[in-house]
Amino acid sequence: MVLHVWAHAGQEAERRVLQAQLERFNQQSDESQLKLTFIPERDYNAQVQAAALAGDLPDLLEFDGPYLYNYIWQQHLIPLEDLLPPALLDDLLPSIVAQGRYAGHLYSVGVYDSGLGLYARQSALQQIGARIPASAGDAWSIDEFNQILGKLAARDSDQAVLDIKLNYTGEWYTYGFSPLLQSAGADLIERRSYRVSDGSINNAAAVSAMQQLQSWIQQGYVDPNLDDAAFAGGRVALSWVGHWEYERYRHAHDTDLLVLPLPDFGQGSRTGQGSWNWGISRASRHPQVAAQFIEFLMRTDEVLAMCDANGAVPGIKSAVQQSTLYGGQGPLALFAAQLTHGVSVPRPKTPAYPVITTEFQNAFQQIRNGGDAQQALNAAAQKIDQDIADNQGYPFIEQ
């Protein structure tokens, strides 16, 4: 029997590891063969949606974080708790379980979770005499952060001292910047019933937080990063990005590299979580074999192999403990700590997520280009609420 597996075409190292894992799994079994297809990351969600509509989903596939819930709502996935061993389920990070659970069942498992923070060059910060935060609870306040930006800019020839990956497109903006809203006391949507965005995404706290970000861009502190080498090339001292840049930044700056929490906009430093996760489609005729492959990928040494390749936080507790990057005093221990101590906030667990993220991205683009923040966020709230109303609140119809 042949099973089809779809994965996102991430960094080259990730692809190599997954390919090798698949080949090893195929060698173990005589009867079943897994065939892997890589799909470019930018169009991944569109491709999966198109396949879902055509009834052409593969047996096993990845989902990009909170896009999962829309597919669960469309009834394309099956629960996994009966297909996976209890020992594995116990070993999962709480954030992985929270990500995969919806309407009372576990529909997906992530091999790794994500980390988001502020990379910095220690030498640059020492030059201006800035305090180095020791943990997320110790993060820079927004006033401190503004002062640091000003001091760094005074010493920088082109005034640009911060990289927020403006060259990225798509989901990055929601992942990277909704923690800004949460840190200020706002949110993308209210989390009790997930029905109303008005009042959360466009309240005074949200507007002032986005205006802060707008002021950094308008004062020229932000590098447009067209060549994606602003931090790695040493042009800027700070880079607001996730775990996937760790390897490259470490190669560029070695011991000068610091990993710091995001600044505190008032309610405490907040950061993002959630990443690619595996689910089994309802149309699969061999769910047990697909589940066996998930089990294989979640073995401690396999998880560590993948996380060594992409720098992500391992999805099982045993792997985090053994990891040189994330365990104990490792350089990325901050990311693991943020996930386990509630500093990270999951993106909204609702089938409305595709619309929420599209509208927030649109609002972000307007704000980044100097538009009125209140208007942009109001428009986003209006569109999101209209969509949720159109879909009658996304009622979950049990099959």
Partner 1 sequence: MKNTQLAWLFVLPALSGLLCFVLFPFVLSLILSFTNLRLGSPLPLEFVGFKQYQRIFTDAAFLAALRNNSLFALIVVPLQTGLALLMALLVNQPLRGMVIFRSVFFMPVVFPLSLVAVVWILVLAPGPQGLLNQLLETVTLGAWQARDFLHDSAWALAAISLTSIWQGVGFQMVILLAALQGIPQALYEAARVDGANQWQQFVFITLPQLRNAIIFVVLVTTILAFRLFDQVQIMTQGGPNHATTTIMYEAVNSAFGSQQVARAAAMTVVFFIVVLLLTLLQRAVGRQQGVN
**Are 242 and 114 within 8 A, CB to CB?**
yes
> Among residues 31, 87, 392, 398, which is the contact residue for partner 1, using CB under 8 A?
392
Q: Can residue 282 be called a binding residue for partner 1 (CB under 8 A)?
A: no
- The Cα 209–Cα 169 span in angstroms is 21
Binding-site string for partner 1 from residue 50 to residue 79, where x marks contact by CB under 8 A and - marks none: --xx----------------x--xxx----
> Among residues 19, 218, 219, 391, which is the contact residue for partner 1, using CB under 8 A?
391
Please list every residue from 215 through 274 that binds partner 1, using CB under 8 A. Answer: 224, 226
Candidates 132-140, 253-261, 298-306, 388-396: pick the segment binding partner 1 (CB under 8 A). 388-396
Binding-site string for partner 1 from residue 157 to residue 196, where x marks contact by CB under 8 A and - marks none: -x----------x---------------------------
- The Cα 172–Cα 49 span in angstroms is 19
- The Cα 143–Cα 151 span in angstroms is 12
Question: Within 10 A of 193 (CB to CB), how many other CB atoms are there?
Answer: 10
Candidates 10-18, 144-152, 332-340, 364-372: pick the segment binding partner 1 (CB under 8 A). 364-372
Closest C-alpha to 173, from 362, 47, 389: 362
- Indicate the residue among 81 and 390 with the shorter CB distance to partner 1: 390
Q: Can residue 300 be called a binding residue for partner 1 (CB under 8 A)?
A: no
- Indicate the residue among 73 and 326 with the shorter CB distance to partner 1: 73
Q: Can residue 337 be called a binding residue for partner 1 (CB under 8 A)?
A: no
- Indicate the residue among 96 and 189 with the shorter CB distance to partner 1: 189
DSSP string covering 279-292 = EEBTT-S-HHHHHH
Burial 329-363 (b: 16+ CB within 10 A, else e): eebbbbbbbbbeeebbbebbbbbbbbbbbbbbbeb
- Indicate the residue among 134 and 389 with the shorter CB distance to partner 1: 389
Residue 364 C-beta: closest distance to partner 1, Å: 10
- The Cα 83–Cα 215 span in angstroms is 51
Pairing assessment for the beta strands 105-106 and 112-113 based on DSSP bridges: unpaired
**Are 136 and 269 within 8 A, CB to CB?**
yes
- The Cα 388–Cα 396 span in angstroms is 13
Binding site for partner 1 (CB under 8 A): 46, 49, 52-53, 70, 73-75, 158, 169, 224, 226, 354-355, 358-359, 362, 365-366, 368-371, 379, 383, 387, 390-392, 395, 397
